[in-house]
C-alpha cells in the first residue's frame, strides 16, 4: 500500500518531544515498516497552525489526492491534520470521494464505518475547542498586560527606547510632525516634508501610513490600546466598522503628546477621514500578486453587475496572466475583497503569534550580517583598486610606464572603482534594522488600512510587499453566488 505522510508542527510545539518534525517522521516511518507500506509522499508544514487548511503542504496534499499517488494518508495524531471540526468533515468527505484511507499511528480509529467517522468528528470538535481555548488565554494575557499598563509586544514605537524612556531627538521629530499636520498638511505631505528635511524614522523614510500611525496611536499620549477590528456584514463591505474588545489603560511610560493635544489632532483626523473608496476605484494589489499554480503574475480585471435600481456595481478581480492568454493555467479569478481579507487575516495572525515577530527579527539579524560581510569584502576590493592606482602613478613617475598606458590603466581602474562605490552605497542604505520598517508598517496596517484611499492602498502594499502568492485547491470558481472561493496566501516576500 502506498502511504502519504503528513507532518505538521507549530513553532511552540517544535521543541516538544514527539511533536517535532523529526520525531513525527520517525514514528510514521516505523509504522509504515510494521505494516509493510511504501512511502510515496511526505508533506511537512513547519510552523503552521491547524486552525484552518491554509498551509502550503496541506494545500499540496489536497491537490494531489485526485492524482492517485497514494492509497492512505498517515498522521501522528488527528490534531496534526486539523483542529477544526468543519475542516475535518471536509477532508473526510474528500478522502471518501477518491477512496483514500486515513490512519493515525497513535490513535485507534478508522474511517470505514459510520461509528469510526463519528469518533473522528468528535475528536476534531475537541481539538477545535482546545485551539479556541488557547487563543482565548492568549488574548486574556494580552488584555491583562494592557490593564497593567504594559505594552503587549510589537515593535518599540518611534520616540521611545525599549525601556519606555523618551528619546529626545526622536520626540522633537514627532512634535514637528504634529505641527505640520495641524498646519493643514495631509499625511503624505507631512511625510514628504520630514523626509526632505532629513528627519527620518531611525534611518527610514516617512510615509503617509507611518504619519497616520503616530497621530492615531494613543501610546504617545500616555495610553495603551489593544484590540481588533470587526467587520459588520461581509468582508466585501468595509464601510460599516466598529472596534470590539478594544482596551485602553494608563501606561507606565511618559507621554510625548499631552492628552488635550492628542484629542485635538484625532478630532481633525476624524473630520478629514474618508471611507476608503473613491469614485474611480483602483486595483490595490496591482503588480504584487502571483499565481501559485504556474508562477505567473496576476493582473486586474473587472466586470459590472446591474443593480435593481438600474445602476451598475463595478467588481474588481485578479486573473492569472497565463490563464488570461489561454495558456493552460486553471487558476480561478480572485475578487479584490477576498485578497484584502486574506492579507489582513495574515497580518492579524502575525500580530497574535509573537513568535513570528521573533522569526522576522532573526531574519533581520542574518540579513544584516550578510550585508556587513559583503560590505567588508567590497571595501577590501576598493582598497586594492586604490593601491593599484598609486602603483601605476609611481611607475609613470619613474618612467616605467608611458602616459598612454597610465591613462588606459587608470580608466580601467576607474570603472571598477565606480562600480564598487555604487554597490557599497546601495548596501549602506540597507544597514541598520533592515526589517524594522517592514515590521512597523505590518503592525500598523490593520489600524490605518480603512482610512486610505485606493491610490494610497496600492502605494502601501507596494512599499511593504514584493510579491504575494495566492493559492486555492480548486481549479475553477464554483459555489453559491456571493461566496468567496476557498483560498490562502502560499507565500509573501517583503520589499
Domain ranges in the chain are 2-135, 168-272, 276-495
Which entry of 10, 49, 84, 296 is annotated as an active-site residue? 10
Cell 490512519 belongs to 103
Q: Which three cell numbers stand for residue 105?
A: 499511528
Rounded-to-integer distance, Cα 209 and Cα 181, Å: 13
In terms of C-beta density within 10 A (0-12 exposed, 13-18 middle, 19 or more buried), how is residue 168 classed?
Answer: exposed
Q: Is 98 helix (H, G, I), strand (E, B) or coil?
A: coil
- Note the pLDDT of residue 171: 92
- Helix, strand, coil tally for the chain in percent (to 5): 50, 15, 30
139-170, pLDDT tens digit by residue?
655 566 656 556 555 677 899 888 889 999 99
Task: Fill in the DSSP letter of residue 367.
Answer: H
C-alpha cell at 351: 500580530
Which strands sit side by side in the sheet containing 465-471, from one edge to the other? Answer: 289-291, 465-471, 488-494
Choose the most confident range, by mean pLDDT, from 172-186, 292-306, 430-444. 172-186
Distance CA 421, CA 427 (A): 10
Name the grid cell of 230: 470587526
pLDDT for residue 334 is more than 80? yes
The pLDDT of residue 469 = 93
- Spatial separation of the C-alpha atoms in residues 160 and 168, rounded to whole Å: 9
Please name the helix (run of DSSP H) or strand (run of DSSP E) that holds residue 291, with its range, or none.
strand 289-291
DSSP 435-484: THHHHHHHHHHHHHGGGS-HHHHHHHHHHHEEEEEEE-S-SS--SSTTPP
**Strand 312-320, strand 298-306: pairing:** antiparallel
CATH assignment, 168-272:
3.90.1750.20
What DSSP line would sit under 384-396, residue for residue? HHHHHHHHHHHHH
Q: Which residue has the cell 497552525?
A: 49
For 219, other C-beta atoms within 10 Å of its C-beta total 21
In this structure, of 24-38, 124-138, 206-220, 245-259, the range with the lowest mean pLDDT score is: 124-138
Residue 445: which of 481, 384, 400, 492 has the closest Cα?
Answer: 492
How many C-alpha atoms does 120 have within 13 Å on its Cβ side? Answer: 25
How far is the C-alpha of 300 from the C-alpha of 315, rounded, in Å? 11
Q: What percent of the chain has pLDDT over 70?
A: 72
CA R_g for the chain:
28
Q: Reduced to 3 states, what is the DSSP secondary structure of residue 41?
A: strand
Reference 176, options 163, 193, 160; nearest CA is 193
What's phi and psi for 459, nearest 5 deg?
-60, -35
Question: Which stretch, 211-220, 392-401, 480-489, has highest mean pLDDT?
Answer: 211-220
- pLDDT at residue 142, rounded to an integer: 57
Q: What element of type H or E holds 161?
A: none
The fold of the 2-135 domain, in CATH, is Rossmann fold (3.40.50)
pLDDT of 14 above 60: no
**Catalytic residue flag (residue 20):** no
pTM as predicted: 0.38
- In the predicted structure, residue 3 carries a pLDDT above the cut 80: yes
pLDDT of 280 > 50? The answer is no
Cell triple for residue 420? 564598487
Amino acid at each position: 500500500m502506498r502511504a502519504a505522510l503528513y507532518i505538521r508542527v507549530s513553532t511552540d510545539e517544535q521543541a516538544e518531544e514527539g511533536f517535532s518534525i523529526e520525531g513525527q517522521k520517525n514514528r510514521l516511518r516505523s509504522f509504515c515498516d510494521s505494516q509493510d507500506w511504501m512511502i510515496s509522499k511526505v508533506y511537512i508544514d513547519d510552523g503552521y497552525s491547524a486552525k484552518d487548511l491554509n498551509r502550503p503542504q496541506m494545500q499540496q496534499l489536497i491537490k494531489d489526492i485526485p492524482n492517485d499517488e497514494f492509497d492512505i494518508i498517515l498522521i501522528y495524531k488527528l490534531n496534526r491534520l486539523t483542529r477544526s471540526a468543519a475542516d475535518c468533515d471536509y477532508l473526510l468527505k474528500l478522502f471518501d470521494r477518491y477512496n483514500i484511507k486515513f490512519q493515525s499511528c497513535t490513535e485507534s480509529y478508522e474511517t470505514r464505518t459510520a461509528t469510526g467517522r463519528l469518533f473522528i468528528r468528535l475528536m476534531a470538535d475537541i481539538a477545535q475547542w482546545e485551539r479556541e481555548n488557547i487563543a482565548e488565554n492568549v488574548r486574556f494575557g494580552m488584555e491583562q498586560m494592557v490593564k497593567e499598563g504594559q505594552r503587549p509586544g510589537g515593535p518599540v514605537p518611534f520616540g521611545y527606547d525599549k525601556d519606555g524612556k523618551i528619546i529626545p531627538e526622536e520626540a522633537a521629530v514627532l512634535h514637528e510632525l504634529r505641527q505640520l499636520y495641524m498646519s493643514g498638511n495631509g499625511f503624505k505631505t507631512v511625510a514628504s516634508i520630514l523626509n526632505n528635511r532629513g528627519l527620518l524614522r531611525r534611518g527610514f523614510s516617512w510615509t503617509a501610513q507611518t504619519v497616520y500611525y503616530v497621530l492615531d496611536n494613543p501610546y504617545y499620549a500616555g495610553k495603551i490600546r489593544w484590540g481588533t477590528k470587526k467587520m459588520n456584514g461581509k468582508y466585501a463591505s468595509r464601510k460599516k466598522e466598529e472596534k470590539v474588545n478594544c482596551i485602553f489603560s494608563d501606561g507606565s511610560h511618559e507621554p510625548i503628546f499631552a492628552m488635550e493635544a492628542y484629542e485635538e489632532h484625532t478630532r481633525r483626523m476624524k473630520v478629514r477621514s474618508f471611507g476608503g473608496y473613491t469614485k474611480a476605484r483602483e486595483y490595490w494589489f496591482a503588480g504584487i500578486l502571483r499565481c501559485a499554480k504556474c508562477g505567473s503574475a496576476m493582473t486586474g480585471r473587472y466586470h459590472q453587475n446591474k443593480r435593481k435600481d438600474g445602476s451598475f456595481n463595478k467588481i474588481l478581480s485578479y486573473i492569472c496572466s497565463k490563464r488570461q492568454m489561454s495558456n493552460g493555467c486553471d487558476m480561478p479569478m480572485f475578487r479584490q475583497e477576498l485578497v484584502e481579507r486574506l492579507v489582513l487575516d495574515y497580518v492579524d495572525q502575525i500580530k497574535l503569534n509573537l513568535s513570528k515577530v521573533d522569526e522576522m527579527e532573526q531574519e533581520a539579524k542574518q540579513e544584516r550580517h550578510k550585508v556587513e560581510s559583503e560590505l567588508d569584502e567590497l571595501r577590501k576590493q576598493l582598497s586594492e583598486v586604490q593601491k593599484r592606482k598609486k602603483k601605476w602613478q609611481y611607475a609613470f613617475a619613474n618612467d616605467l610606464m608611458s602616459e598612454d598606458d597610465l591613462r588606459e590603466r587608470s580608466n580601467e581602474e576607474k570603472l571598477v572603482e565606480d562600480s564598487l562605490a555604487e554597490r557599497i552605497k546601495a548596501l549602506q542604505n540597507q544597514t541598520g534594522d533592515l526589517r524594522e520598517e517592514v515590521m512597523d508598517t505590518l503592525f500598523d496596517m490593520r489600524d490605518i488600512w480603512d482610512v486610505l484611499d485606493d491610490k494610497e492602498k496600492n502605494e502601501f502594499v507596494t512599499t511593504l510587499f514584493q510579491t504575494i502568492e495566492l493559492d486555492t485547491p480548486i481549479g475553477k470558481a464554483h459555489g453559491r453566488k456571493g461566496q468567496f472561493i476557498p483560498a490562502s496566501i502560499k507565500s509573501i516576500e517583503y520589499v
